[in-house]
Structure 1
Amino acid sequence: MTQIVLQPQRGFDRDLFERRIRDLAAERGRLDIIEAGCGRRWSLRLDDVDYRLTGIDTDEAALRARREQANDLDEWIVGDLRTTELGKETRDVVYCAFVLEHVEGARQALDRFTEALRPGGYLILRIPDRDSVYGFLTRVTPFRVHVLYRRWVTGYKDAGKPGHEPYPTAYDPEISRRGIQKYCDEHGLKIVDEYGSDFYLSEMGRWRLLIGPMVKLVGLLSFGRLSPRHNNLSFVIQKT
């Protein structure tokens, strides 16, 4: 497997996703987009694109906040990504950012996404890599540690409250670079774009002086099984 390309700047993947969606809209006109695990806000800027947006989330509190504050969903569904019927070849884009690591049975959700996409449509994924040092440490630490980390290291004071991150993690085998590549090979999907990032370090402020060297040490002790160079992965995957 080739070495992953690190994103050159923060927000690079968002610009990439927006460009891919705009190109698809230029071909098709109005797009039907699903945001799977939509949470409280929509991170893409698509003011110049004609699209219909459906949001799906199991967290009713977060979905209610999204409806009341952003009011940018044409349709909203409180449902499980593994079982919610999305239709067969009815969507042009499925966007799912930092959700599948929380799903036990992520493959079932990926199956739903793949079934819902029209040929030529895009599955846009952002996931943490379970085979990175960051992913490994997240998997082996208790959930309460994740809450404390978000509150005291990243400064997110509402962490752990209803409708707010973080959420318990599952980290199925598919939630990795190898897992996504294997899934795409098995289902005839084409990875159009793939990048990694390590921007989580920049969010730590002075803590990075302690955590950065620790991440490198764990990577060395893993003898190459865990990557210290990135934590998050971004994919644009096309249904052929």
Structure 2
Amino acid sequence: MTTETIPTKPELLRLQKVVDKLLTNSRKLRVLEAGCGSATEIHLPQDAFFVGMDISAKQLERNAVAQEKILGDIQTYPLPGGEFDVILCFYLLEHLPQPELAMKNFLQAVKEEGIIILALPNVLSIWGLITKFTPHWFHVWVYRYIFGEKRAGTDDFGPFQTFSRLSTSPKQLEQFALNHNLSIEYLDLYENFRQTDMKAKYGLWWQLFAGTVKVLSFGQVATDNTDYILVLKKQKN
């Protein structure tokens, strides 16, 4: 890798410990980051060969880590079989109309005993469902005027169009793993910092809203766990 990344968010620090334990062999790693954008979230060995893939040429240009860059759609791009020791996919699946195609592509592209690391919103949460059922222009407005990100929605910066298919829920992706010879090495559900800030700001109003949602959904919609990280390992045939 050309640039070292030091995780600072609590969920990434927890993930880093898991990844360090799983990647104990001495071979040089070949790593794919799908939807690589312009940043890499975790630290991998300095001698790893890093392949970045994104549908945005501008985002690829901004990436200072990838030694090889692929401009393409992970749902349809023919990745080579059994090529990668590690596949990273951070906050991409929710933006795909057919995320199951991406998962199948990862499945055939990862080596036996290789790992797939996924990070994405929990669609079955208050945050996830609001995102799913509100239009893209509203997301851009929120990022610009609520979160203060003035370049949001311009020059290939997010937020991007979101589909958040139900097939990306934690239970559905766990079931995909069980059906396709992937072991579940790690699952971490957590609350993103934006919702944490909103809870602190709105206090009692948020508690009333979240409590109402919990009752009406019979506990099926998460009020706290907005996001999750899932680590899968491909088993030997």
TM range (shorter): 0.7 to 0.9
Displacement after TM superposition at 1:45 (Å): 2.6
Give the 3 Å change call, closer, same or farther, for CA 93–83 of structure 1 in structure 2.
same
Task: Provide the aligned length of Structure 1 versus Structure 2.
Answer: 226
1:79-118 pair list within 5 angstroms: 79-118=72-111
CA contact (8 A) 1:154 1:204 kept: no
Give yes or no for the alignment of 1:185 onto 2:178.
yes
Give the 3 Å change call, closer, same or farther, for CA 55–218 of structure 1 in structure 2.
same
- Bigger relative contact order, structure 1 or 2 (CA pairs below 8 A, ≥6 apart): 1
Give, as a single letter, the amino acid of the residue that structure 1 aligns with 2:17.
R
The answer for the alignment partner of 2:196 in structure 1 is 202
Q: Aligned partners of 2:163 and 2:173: how far apart in 1?
A: 16
Give, as a single letter, the amino acid of the residue that structure 1 aligns with 2:120.
I
Give, as a single letter, the amino acid of the residue that structure 2 aligns with 1:217.
T
Give the 3 Å change call, closer, same or farther, for CA 174–123 of structure 1 in structure 2.
same
Per-residue deviation, residues 157-179 of structure 1 (Å, max 9, x unmatched): 11111221100111122210111
Displacement after TM superposition at 1:204 (Å): 4.2
Per-residue deviation, residues 91-128 of structure 1 (Å, max 9, x unmatched): 00000011000001100000010111111111000011
Give yes or no for the alignment of 1:120 onto 2:116.
no
The answer for the alignment partner of 1:230 in structure 2 is 225
SS at match of 2:60: helix
The answer for the alignment partner of 1:33 in structure 2 is 31
CA contact (8 A) 2:18 2:186 kept: no
RMSD: 2.0
CA contact (8 A) 1:29 1:50 kept: no
Mean Cα deviation higher: 88-97 or 20-29: 20-29
The answer for the alignment partner of 2:3 in structure 1 is none
The answer for the alignment partner of 1:63 in structure 2 is 60
Displacement after TM superposition at 1:22 (Å): 3.4
Q: Aligned partners of 2:48 and 2:147: how far apart in 1?
A: 34
Give, as a single letter, the amino acid of the residue that structure 2 aligns with 1:53.
F
Per-residue deviation, residues 70-92 of structure 1 (Å, max 9, x unmatched): x2211011100011122111100
Give the 3 Å change call, closer, same or farther, for CA 122–31 of structure 1 in structure 2.
same
Mean Cα deviation higher: 72-81 or 202-211: 202-211
SS at match of 2:25: helix
Give the 3 Å change call, closer, same or farther, for CA 211–153 of structure 1 in structure 2.
farther
Give the 3 Å change call, closer, same or farther, for CA 204–148 of structure 1 in structure 2.
farther
Q: Aligned partners of 2:14 and 2:47: how far apart in 1?
A: 18
Q: Aligned partners of 1:126 and 1:65: how far apart in 2?
A: 21
Task: Structure 1: state its 5+ residue gaps.
Answer: 1-9
Give, as a single letter, the amino acid of the residue that structure 1 aligns with 2:226.
N
Per-residue deviation, residues 136-184 of structure 1 (Å, max 9, x unmatched): 1111111111111112222211111122110011112221011111111
Displacement after TM superposition at 1:221 (Å): 2.1
CA contact (8 A) 1:22 1:49 kept: no
SS at match of 1:94: strand
Displacement after TM superposition at 1:65 (Å): 2.0
CA contact (8 A) 2:199 2:206 kept: no
TM-score normalised according to structure 2 size? 0.87
CA contact (8 A) 1:55 1:77 kept: yes
Per-residue deviation, residues 38-87 of structure 1 (Å, max 9, x unmatched): 011112233x5420111101111211222xxxx22110111000111221
Give, as a single letter, the amino acid of the residue that structure 2 aligns with 1:173.
L
The answer for the alignment partner of 2:4 in structure 1 is none
